[in-house]
Amino acid sequence: MPTDRKKAHLDLALKSHAGFEFADQRFNYEPLMSAHPVAGTSLARPFMGRELQLPVWVSSMTGGTPLAGEINRNLAMVCREFGMGMGLGSCRSILEDDTWLKHFALRSVIGPDLPLYANLGINQIEVMISQNKWNLISGLVSKLEADGLMVHVNPFQEFFQPEGDRLKYAPIDSIRKLIDRFPDMKIVVKEVGQGMGPHSLRALLELPLEAIEFGAYGGTNFSKLESLRQSGERIKALLPLAATGHTASDMLEAINDISKTSCVATRHLIISGGIKDFLDGYYLIGKSVLPAVYGQASAFLIHAQAGIDQLRQFVAAQAEGLRMAYAYLQIK
């Protein structure tokens, strides 16, 4: 009712003073330059050899438990409905045994047209190389009907786990071997929440990767998570390591700088790790020299756990927010 709305406006007006300190300084707000976007306003773009309807990526999360299977299906379903890409969680458990395959076999759910990537840790890649089990890597990608393989590089996370794997070689060497062996496979390299510094980024950008996914510092932090899982002097002493890393803006700035002066062979970026909302994503994509989308893990997980309806509402609101941003906000 208009009268109720007017009364609510009077009651709430004094409580809603923005205060200068809260104005988001990243954008120019241009209210005169666009009509309201309608639901069908296209944000479509080509990305990683496919066509996305939203510049959004569902970042890798684990499978292999009954709950994870349902979460993965919900995530793949909204990817299909909204036209987003998806990275699977670590597929280590189905490398040699198909017990949990159904939790990861999401091609029929996401459909034939959107990017879907298998995922392995750098430690498994190292082991597969040393045991000459290349066929397990290519077999994984083909049994999942995936577009390619994401390799997560997580030396801190593994080190924080007393039972974690230990690397014998520098990850960059194993990644180079992987590319040499599979020159036609689409390969993405990512961190899992601490990002990467300029030397690692430069080394990756020289390689013909399909994408780098940031997994930047500022959101889910697996080293910190491991410290919550454990007690004892070792973990207490190691904890300062968990507070190191690179945010998504730091990483993007480094990549943009490197691209100005060096030849870059990597084709795309998935900007993830600590992306709070669509505005962070919109801003960082807009600043990127390379074609980019933004990715989130924990934000999707929270809604996916609550069921498909809540997940749909979350993604629909992100899409609306993005359309408004493209219509009215110019990146400074």
Write out the residues near ligand FMN by the rule CB under 6 A. Answer: 59-62, 89-90, 119, 152, 190, 192-193, 215, 219-220, 272-275, 296-299, 301
For ligand FMN, give the closer residue by CB, 155 or 215: 215
Give the nearest distance from C-beta 16 to ligand FMN in angstroms: 29
Give the nearest distance from C-beta 220 to ligand FMN in angstroms: 3
For ligand FMN, give the closer residue by CB, 116 or 192: 192
Pairing, β 85-87 against β 116-121: parallel
Other CB atoms within a 10 A radius of the CB of residue 221 amount to: 20
For ligand FMN, give the closer residue by CB, 157 or 288: 157
For ligand FMN, give the closer residue by CB, 73 or 328: 73
Pairing, β 85-87 against β 50-52: unpaired
Give the nearest distance from C-beta 277 to ligand FMN in angstroms: 11
Give the nearest distance from C-beta 120 to ligand FMN in angstroms: 9
- Give residues with Cβ within 8 angstroms of 93, minimum separation 6: 63, 64, 99, 100
Give the nearest distance from C-beta 6 to ligand FMN in angstroms: 40
Greatest Cα-to-Cα distance within the chain, rounded to the nearest angstrom: 74
Give the nearest distance from C-beta 150 to ligand FMN in angstroms: 6
For ligand FMN, give the closer residue by CB, 93 or 266: 93
Cα separation, 260 vs 272, in Å, equals: 22
Q: Which residues of 244-283 are buried (b: 16+ CB within 10 A; e: fewer)?
A: ebbbbbbbbebbeebeeeeebebbbbbbbbbbeebbbbbb
Structure tokens, 270 = 């998935």
For ligand FMN, give the closer residue by CB, 196 or 258: 196
Nearest-CA neighbor of 135 among 265, 113, 91, 143? 143
Task: Give me the residue whose beta carbon is nearest to ligand FMN.
Answer: 219
Nearest-CA neighbor of 151 among 114, 191, 199? 191
Cα separation, 40 vs 94, in Å, equals: 39
Give the nearest distance from C-beta 297 to ligand FMN in angstroms: 3
For ligand FMN, give the closer residue by CB, 59 or 288: 59
The DSSP-derived string for 139-163 is HHHHHTT-SEEEEE--HHHHHHSTT
Give the nearest distance from C-beta 21 to ligand FMN in angstroms: 25
For ligand FMN, give the closer residue by CB, 41 or 247: 247
